[in-house]
Amino acid sequence: MSDVVVVKVGTSSVTTSGGDVDVETLNSLARQVAALLGAGQRVVVVTSGAITAGWSAVGRGAPRPNDAQTLQAVSAVGQPLLMDAWRHAFADHGRPVGQVLLAPHDFADRAQYLHARGTIESLWSLGVVPVVNENDAIADEEIRFGDNDRLAALVASLVGASTLILLTDTAGLLTADPRFDPAATLIAEIETLDDEIMALASGSSSGVGSGGMTSKLSAARIAQWSGVTTVIAPARETNVVLRLVSGESGLGTTIAPRRDRLSARKAWIAFAVPTVGRLVINEGAATALTTRGSSLLGIGVLECTVPFLAGQAIDVVDVRGERVAKGVARVSSDACGESDVVVHRDELVVLK
């Protein structure tokens, strides 16, 4: 299998300051992606920008709305505008595009998850570039991905990507906010996404995207556990995608993957399935999970703080309330005390 690259481009990079689609940037990215495809690599493009493009078309200069229903309607206007721009950009290189609209349910339900993967693989087999976006026009505000950085990380895990490139309007993660500290410098490489690194992130600086550096680092954490290298880099840098894939260093911020990557199923459990229940376990059970890779046994359960049904995902916490693991329960919360195995180790991801 050739390497798979997921390229996510943010709203501030695919649209102009006036809110229109930035045709020049899309043309540049399409040229680079086409070059990768010509070299035998497989690529998924994850795009933002539908709401901004839609409001530019129908807003008539009014301030951008904040209510979910209007934003969903605006997204319905912007989606075809955005896809038409991508279609024209790739047409110059003889590459058709296929729109893949995803919602959280497509990741939470195992059958839908595998179906989404199959759809993307079929598009590749047809020589079509998959262009992915969240289905904003109908997504329930309570169960949205929240930003396309997380969606891109989940897609990277879904398709077994080697590299996730998050393109934005900044150079990468900096040591400080350059608007207030002119001495801020680029952090070129990150091995561990600890609290100190996460504290350097801030919200979206452009005012048009749904996420900022915090969402990118959160997405990189998902990719890390899935064995995917993440790079946060400037979208408008010349040949940025080609240079990153070729291994050029010093361009953007690279977050290394974990050596002990999760299997595809465990990555699905850890990051795609919504958590429903919550169990508190004793110290012996916590030790067994974290050091011996054991299943969670009923004898180790102290209490259930949020009830659940068999087949639902649950958080497992220790007596201090720290999350130890996440897994898919074999039994309901009512039967935990009577069951030998509450969560089998094959359905359990140790996160501590």
Mean pLDDT, the chain, as a whole number? 90
What are the DSSP calls for 104-149, one per residue?
HHHHHSHHHHHHHHHHHHHHHHTTPEEEEEE-TTT--GGG--SSHH
Q: pLDDT grade, residue 206 (50/70/90)?
A: very low
pLDDT at 1: 35
Q: Could you tell me if 279 and 342 are in contact, meaning their C-beta atoms sit under 8 angstroms apart?
A: yes
Q: pTM, whole model, 2 decimals? A: 0.89
Both tokens of 256, joined, read: 């290394």
Nearest by Cα to 102 from 71, 69, 79, 125: 79
Pairing of strands 253-255, 129-134: unpaired
Element (H, E) at 78: helix 68-91
Segments making up each domain of the chain, as ranges: 4-265, 274-350
pLDDT at 209: 42
Report the alpha-carbon distance of residue 212 to residue 169 in Å, rounded: 10
pLDDT at 142: 40
Q: pLDDT grade, residue 173 (50/70/90)?
A: very high
Report the alpha-carbon distance of residue 287 to residue 209 in Å, rounded: 42
pLDDT at 250: 87
Asked if pLDDT for residue 208 goes beyond 50, the answer is no
Mean pLDDT of 70-98: 94
In CATH terms, the superfamily for domain 4-265 is Acetylglutamate kinase-like (3.40.1160.10)
Give tens-digit pLDDT for 26-62.
999 999 999 999 999 999 999 998 888 999 999 878 8
Element (H, E) at 255: strand 253-255
Given CATH 2.30.130.10, say whether it is the number of domain 274-350.
yes
What DSSP designation does 186 have? B
List the beta bridge partners of residue 129: 97
Give tens-digit pLDDT for 231-271.
999 999 999 999 999 999 889 999 999 988 898 899 999 99
pLDDT at 337: 79
Rounded to the nearest angstrom, the gap between the alpha carbon of residue 338 and the centroid of all alpha carbons in its chain is 38
Q: Give every CB contact of residue 288 below 8 A, 6+ residues apart in sequence.
A: 294, 297, 300
Q: pLDDT grade, residue 138 (50/70/90)?
A: low
CA 246-247-251 angle, 5° bins: 110
Report the alpha-carbon distance of residue 311 to residue 154 in Å, rounded: 21
Report the alpha-carbon distance of residue 235 to residue 9 in Å, rounded: 7
Report the alpha-carbon distance of residue 33 to residue 95 in Å, rounded: 10
